[in-house]
Chain A
Amino acid sequence: MSLPHGWEMVVGLEVHTELQTATKMFCGCANAFGAVPNTSVCPVCLGLPGALPVLNERAIDLAMAIGMALHSTISPSTFHRKNYFYPDMPKDFQISQYDLPINAGGYLDLPDSTRVTIERAHLEEDTGKSTHLGGSGRIHGADRSLVDYNRSGVPLVEIVSGPDIRSSTQARLYASELRAILVATGASDGRMEEGSMRIDANVSVRHADEPFGTRCEIKNLNSLRSLQRAIDYEALRQVELLEGGGRVRQETRHWDENLGATSTMRTKEEAEDYRYFREPDLVDLAPDIAWQDRVRAGLPPMPAERRATLSARLVGANDAQLDALEVVIDLGLDPFVHHAIDAGVDPGLALARGANELAAGLEDIARLNRDAFSATLLMEQRGELSSTQAKTVLGELLAHGGEPGTVAAAKGFEQLSADTLGTTVAELLAQFPSEWERYRDGDEKLAQFFIGQVMRITNGQANGKAVVAELRARR
C-alpha cells in the first residue's frame, strides 16, 4: 500500500520476546508454555508479601546475546518498578529496566540494506494471562476474568527500534529479520502465534522532510500479517484525519484482525503514569568483560551472514528460489541445505526440499538428521525415487525418524531397476509405434504420454526423468 501523494509514514517497533530459559526471570518456577494453569507459580511470581526476586543468569546471557547480535553496547544496568493496577500483574508492578538498559544503542541491517537503529534492548518480566468471561468477550463487556500466573515472571527482552521504518513492508522485513536473529541466538523460538514474540508499532505520518507527526501506538500485534495490515490502516487513518482538517491524538490503539481496523484503547496521558522507581530488592547488573566474552564466543553466525553464504552457492537463483532462501534462513534450516549440497545434491533441489518439506515439518525437525536428508535427496537425484516418493520419504523421516533406504523399501518405493524400466519402455514403444514415431520426429509433448504409460504400468514407481532419459537414449 502507498499513502496519498506527498505523505510518508514513520514507524518504530517495540518487539517483546520471551526468552528460552528453563526458569522464570526472578524465581525457579519452570518457564513452561502451555502448562496446566497456575501450576508453575511460587511466592515470588505471585507477588506474595516478603518474597524476594533473584535474577536468572541464563536470562542475562540471552539478553546479552541479543544485544551483541544487534551491535548494542552492553552496559551496566538497573531495574525499576513500573507500577500499574491490573490483575495479570499480581505485585501491581512489573519489574523492568528503565533509564539504564542492559543493551544500549545498536542497529539491524535489513536484507534490502536499510539500516534500522536500535535504541535499546532491555530485560523485563512477562505478565500473567487473563481470560475474560461473559459480556461480548471483549474486555469492556466482561463480567469477570480468570487469571493464570504461569506466564507471570517469564523473562522478556523488549527491543525498541528507532523511528527509521518508512513502510509496512519494511516493518514486516524488520520483524522477520529480527525474529530470525532471535532464533539464531537461541534466545527465542520466534513463535508469534503462541505469543512468544509480540509487537507494538508506533505509527505517525508527515509530509516528507517535515518534523515527525503525533504518533499512535498499536498494541500486541501477534503476526507479521497483522503488523503489516495494522500499520497500513493506521497510517491511512491518520492521513485522512489530517487531510480532513483533524488532529492526531497521541493514544494507544487496539488492532482488530477481523474488522481490519484500529480503535482507541486509552489516551496516552493516562498510561504514562507508571511512577517508575528503583526496584529496591535487586542490585545493579554489570556483566564484566569475561562474562561478555563467554556469551560472545557462543554466538552462532547471524542470518545476514548465513544468507550471504547460502546465496553464494545458488548462482543465478530465480525469484522463487530467493523466496525459498529466505524461508530456509528464517527457519534456521540452512545447515541441512549446505549438508546436502556438500554431499553432491543439486543446490536448487536441496533448497526446494528445505524450504518446502523441511519447513512443513519444522515441529519434528529434531528427528531428521542431516545425513538422512542428503541421502534421500541423492536417491531422488539418481532417479531411484520419484519427486513424490522423495517427499513422502522425508515426511516419514520427520514423523518417525529412521533411515531413508529402509523407509523407501517399507513404503514399497524400491526403485525400479534400470533393467526393468528399459524393458517396460521397450514394450511400450512396440505397443505405440505411431506415438513413438512422432516423438522421434521431435514432438517432445509425447514424452509426457510415455511417462504416463510407464507410471500406469509401474504403479507410479518410475521416475519421470529416468523415463525421459530412457526415451532419449533410444531416439
Chain B
Amino acid sequence: MAPPLRREDVAHVARLARLTLSEAELDMFTEQLGQVLEHANDMSALALDDVVATAHPFGLTNVVREDVVTASLERARVLEMAPDAQDGRFAVPQIMGDAP
C-alpha cells in the first residue's frame, strides 16, 4: 500500500507542471488528490493474484494507419489559436529551466 500523500508531494508535482499554487490551494489539492490515491489503494487491497494483468480495456492490437500524407491545418488558423506568434512560429515566454 502506497504511503499517504504529503503536502510536499503535491508541491513537487505542481512544480513539475510549472503551476504556482497558493498555500490554500496546496491544502485543498493535497486533500483531493489524497482521496483519488486512496481509491487506488482500495483497489490494491483486492485479492487479484489470479487475474492476468490487463494493459488496455480493448482486446485489440496493431491498430495502424498507412503512411499516406493527409492535409495539415492552415498555418494562419493554427497561429490564431496561440496567445502570441512571431515569424510564423508560436512565441512563448522565456523558458523556465531546460527540457529534460
Contact of A146 among B60, B66, B73, B89 (CB under 8 A): B89
Contact of A41 among B64, B73, B93 (CB under 8 A): B73
Contact across chains for A285 and B62 when beta carbons are under 8 A apart: yes
With the chains together, A141 CA to B71 CA distance in Å?
A: 37
Q: With A56-B64, A84-B16, A283-B61 known to touch, is A41 a contact of B90 (CB < 8 Å)? A: no
With the chains together, A86 CA to B98 CA distance in Å?
A: 8
Counting CB contacts under 8 A, is A278 at the interface? yes
**B: number of interface residues (CB 8 Å):** 39
With the chains together, A286 CA to B63 CA distance in Å?
A: 10
With the chains together, A85 CA to B95 CA distance in Å?
A: 10
Contact of A38 among B18, B56, B60, B78 (CB under 8 A): B78
Contact across chains for B99 and A283 when beta carbons are under 8 A apart: no
Q: Which of A23-31, A162-170, A448-456 contacts B (4 or more CB under 8 A)?
A: A23-31
Contact of A42 among B58, B68, B72 (CB under 8 A): B72
Counting CB contacts under 8 A, is B49 at the interface? no
Counting CB contacts under 8 A, is B69 at the interface? yes
Q: With A54-B63, A275-B16, A286-B62 known to touch, is A22 a contact of B69 (CB < 8 Å)? A: yes
Q: With A146-B87, A147-B92, A283-B60 known to touch, is A55 a contact of B75 (CB < 8 Å)? A: no
Contact across chains for A39 and B87 when beta carbons are under 8 A apart: no
With the chains together, A460 CA to B63 CA distance in Å?
A: 65
Q: Which of A7-15, A265-273, A386-394 contacts B (4 or more CB under 8 A)?
A: A265-273
Counting CB contacts under 8 A, is A174 at the interface? no
Chain B binding site: helix, strand, loop or mixed by DSSP?
Answer: loop
Chain A residues within an 8 Å CB radius of B61: 76, 283-286
Counting CB contacts under 8 A, is A409 at the interface? no
Please report the number of residue pairs spanning A and B whose Cβ atoms sit closer than 8 angstroms: 144
Counting CB contacts under 8 A, is B97 at the interface? yes
Contact across chains for B100 and A57 when beta carbons are under 8 A apart: no
The residue in chain B whose Cβ has the minimal distance to the Cβ of A143 is B94
Contact of A265 among B66, B94, B98 (CB under 8 A): B98
Contact across chains for A148 and B89 when beta carbons are under 8 A apart: yes
Counting CB contacts under 8 A, is A132 at the interface? yes
A287 to chain B, nearest CB (A): 7
Chain A binding site: helix, strand, loop or mixed by DSSP?
Answer: loop
**A: number of interface residues (CB 8 Å):** 62
Counting CB contacts under 8 A, is B79 at the interface? yes
Interface residues of A in 25-62 (CB under 8 A from B): 27-30, 36-43, 46, 54-60
With the chains together, A194 CA to B77 CA distance in Å?
A: 29
With the chains together, A22 CA to B72 CA distance in Å?
A: 13
Name the residue among B17, B66, B67 with the largest chain A CB count within 10 angstroms.
B67
Chain B residues within an 8 Å CB radius of A57: 64-67
Q: With A30-B69, A55-B65 known to touch, is A38 a contact of B16 (CB < 8 Å)? A: no
Counting CB contacts under 8 A, is B20 at the interface? no
Counting CB contacts under 8 A, is A336 at the interface? no
Contact of B73 among A42, A88, A131 (CB under 8 A): A42
A267 to chain B, nearest CB (A): 11
Q: Could you list 16 examples of A-B contacts with CB < 8 Å?
A: A38-B75, A38-B88, A38-B90, A39-B75, A55-B63, A55-B65, A57-B65, A83-B16, A85-B18, A139-B98, A146-B87, A252-B100, A266-B100, A273-B16, A274-B100, A275-B16
